[in-house]
Structure 1
Amino acid sequence: MRIVETIEKVPGGMMLIPLLLGSVVKTFFPGFLEYGSFTTALFKNGALPLIALLIVATGAQISLRQSKAVLVKTSVLLLAKTIIPGFLIIIYGYIFGKAGILGFSLLAVLVAFINSNGGLWLALAARYGDSNDQGAYIASALNDGPFFTLLFLGLSGLGSIPWKYIVAAIIPFLVGFIWGNLDKKFAEMMKPTARITIPFFSFSLGAGIDLRSLFVGGFTGIIIGVAVTIITGTLGYLSYRYLLREKSAIGFAIGTTAGNSVATPAIVADADPSFKPFLAVATPQVAASVLVTAILVPIFTHYLDRRLRAS
């Protein structure tokens, strides 16, 4: 049976399908999650330690020997994808509060907008960019996690985020980064971590979501995903065009939501319980944004590349 192959045909499938399965179990077979021992530890409570391991592995893949051109492109992408959208969404939070408007909570919008899908970036950079663009994957490695979300909420005062949570969010990354640069074999050993951990922590996250909230959050999540694609993809393209002076479509490819970000709302709610009322809807909204951006961004990037080549 080609189960893995079939799941991977769905954009973001290795994240989204286990998430949905976990939600089905939560809704119809909740007793399974309460068996105790290893069953409960993995399928109900396993998300945070598995995500921490993935963050260690991500840090281990970043080398101090990256070229200047790669670091410049990384900085530009972080500006377009994380810093500028983050400030704009914080303004949204000041105006409308944590609940936002029309079901678009501050938590869901911030999480969906300020991180990017590194795997999709690498795939598109290989086709529409060059080796430096591929190296700029570092931007996704840095913003793909809870650190920037916690930092924005904490510094803005919109969330009561203790500094220890912000520091704790980046320590696993630093451990991986330092160890990976000291010992290349450790970096190589950690490469498969994403493929191993993502389906399991996704199921655990889904096990905290009732299917009814998933249907409610799915529609608004689609709208968020379209907005993420258009707004942050355009910012990425314009940053390449006017800051890097490159007439390239690859900048648009940053307009995605990372699969790992589905875990971030739970991490924020753990740091600041005032966000817990928004968690049940924010998580499926972010999951929907992951899927929508994974579909739209390659289409837009390809179309933009054809237009630029024809001009």
Structure 2
Amino acid sequence: MQRIPGGLMLIPLILGAIFGTFAPGALGIGSFTTALFQDSALPLIALLIFATGTQVSLRTGGPILAHAGTLLVMKSLIPATLVVLLGLGVGLDGLLGISLLALLASMDNSNGGLWLAFSGQYGDERDRGAYVASAINDGPFLTLLFLGASGLGDIPFLALLGAIVPFLLGVLVGNIDAEWRRVVQPVPNIVIPFFAFSLGTGIDLGDIVTGGVTGLALGLVIAPFTGGLVYLGYRYILRRGTMSGLGFAAGTTAGNAIATPAVVAAADPRFEEYVGTATAQVAASALVTAIVAPLIAAYALKRKGALRQGGVTEEPEDPAGAAGAADAPASADDAVHGSAGGLADRPEQEQRA
């Protein structure tokens, strides 16, 4: 599973779909079997969200917050706003066989593990610290928020609150007792295969075939489009100069976003008819963007002469400075990405505009 981007989630998801298509009653024998393999998705996702929250430190320096804020606005808030505006015009069915649910679930988040891997090799402490944005957007909360606020979804306030409470509790616990960060660090590797299998049991293989093709096309659009928005933020807001190409590495769909359609449908049953195909499309997008986004980022850095073997070139000093640093926490999506290894620190290369 580690050899396939997103394999920790994609492979169990497909296995679950096989069971759900050809032997739908096999897992319905009751007791622990049904509870774990068929009905476990939502509680395990909640546990993952809690574990992600524990990794967020409130003692983060200003430059890191600026990078995280830029990443959150350009990768999540702006794309989600554009999707909502589209939805107000075309409705929940979306465009070209891609529902509004699939568009929103695949565009308003990012693969934190891939970002940590890429920024750990080519960025500095500000880029690694921007992972905080992935911790915030890595879940169903933003999708629920935008659907509810726009009126496109009938999302009860308590459903919104329920989606964010596990994350906030995780942040609280992790900052009160840092030991909890170490305790729950293995959670993603443990729970992701199980809730992915559980989600898969509710998907027909026909949805994977039809949704997978459009999902591949969706991923090919998301990587340059949302990554390009982050690039603009790096270039014109953060003024990172030749290092602005690093922003393209954020043009990804989080592996955890595969669970978002099911969570949305649980809050608003009107989306139930879209869940199967949307889940397959988001899964395909997660796979494609995990491959394409770092390639675009590396090309952009190389084109500006900022990329060399094993790191980045030295740049002129930036008067803005990069005061403060924070250790980038382990990402839930680091496990989903499956190839984020090699985050050994290199000598600091201050990237200046």
Same fold flag (TM > 0.5):
yes
Deviation string 1:48-103 (CA, Å, 9 cap, x unpaired) is 10010011111000011111111110000011111110110001101100011221
Match of 1:23 in 2: 17
Query: What's 1:259 paired with?
Result: 255
For the Cα contact (< 8 Å) 1:111–1:264, is it kept in 2?
Answer: yes
- Report deviation, 1:31: 2.3
AA in 2 matched with 1:254: A
SS in 1 for 2:266: helix
Looking at structure 1, the residues matched to 170 and 95 of structure 2 have their Cα atoms a distance apart, in angstroms, of: 39
C-alpha distance in structure 2 between counterparts of 1:18 and 1:70, whole Å: 35
Indicate which of 202, 206, 209 corresponds to 2:200: 206
- The answer to whether the aligner puts 1:271 opposite 2:263 as a matched pair is no
Aligned residue number for residue 307 of structure 1: 303
**In the alignment, is residue 101 of structure 1 matched against residue 92 of structure 2?**
no
Match of 2:316 in 1: none
Instruction: Report the AA paired with residue 282 of structure 2.
Output: V
* SS of alignment partner, residue 9 of structure 1: coil
Q: SS where residue 145 of structure 1 aligns?
A: coil
Say if 2:12 is the partner of 1:13.
no
Which runs of 5 or more structure 2 residues have no equivalent in the other structure? Answer: 308-353
Aligned to 2:48: 54
Aligned pair 1:37/2:31, yes or no? Answer: yes
Aligned length: 305
Q: Which residue of 2 aligns with 1:282?
A: 278
The one-letter amino acid paired with 1:117 is N
Q: Hey, what's the Cα distance between the residues in 2 that align with 1:131 and 1:196? A: 28
User: In the TM superposition, what are the counterparts of 1:133-152 in structure 2 within 5 Å?
Assistant: 133-152=127-146
2:75 to 59, 70, 81: 81
Alignment counterpart, residue 218 of structure 1, candidates 212, 222, 235: 212
Q: Are positions 1:173 and 2:194 aligned together? A: no
After superposition, the CA RMSD in angstroms is: 1.0
TM-score by length of 1: 0.96
Task: Quote the Cα distance in structure 1 between the aligned partners of 2:72 and 2:260.
Answer: 18
Shift of 1:310: 6.5
Equivalents in 2 of 1:121, 1:310: separation in Å? Answer: 18
Once residues 20 and 210 of structure 2 are traced to their aligned partners in structure 1, the CA distance between those partners, rounded to angstroms, is 16
Q: Percent identity?
A: 54
Contact 1:128/1:305, CA 8 A, preserved across alignment = no
Structure-2 residue corresponding to 1:70: 64
Moved over 3 A (4+): none
Could you tell me which amino acid in structure 2 is paired with residue 103 of structure 1? G
**1:160-186, CA deviations, whole angstroms, 9 ceiling, x for partnerless residues?**
000101111000001110010000111
1:298 paired with 2:294, answer yes
CA distance in structure 2 between the aligned counterparts of 1:64 and 1:280, rounded to whole angstroms: 37
Corresponding residue number in structure 2 for 1:246: 240
Secondary structure of 2:25's counterpart equals helix
> Helix, strand or coil for the counterpart of 1:120?
helix
Output the CA distance in 1 between the equivalents of 2:158 and 2:43: 17
Determine if the alignment matches structure 1 residue 126 to structure 2 residue 134: no
Runs (5+) with no aligned partner, structure 1: 1-6
Which one of the candidate residues 176, 191, 202 is aligned to 1:197?
A: 191
Corresponding letter in the other structure for 1:264: T
Deviations for 1:17-45, whole angstroms, at most 9, x for unmatched residues? 11011111111222221111111111111
SS at match of 1:309: coil
2:324 — aligned with what? none
Alpha-carbon distance between aligned partners in 1 of 2:12 and 2:246, rounded to the nearest angstrom? 30
- Amino acid across the alignment from 1:8: Q
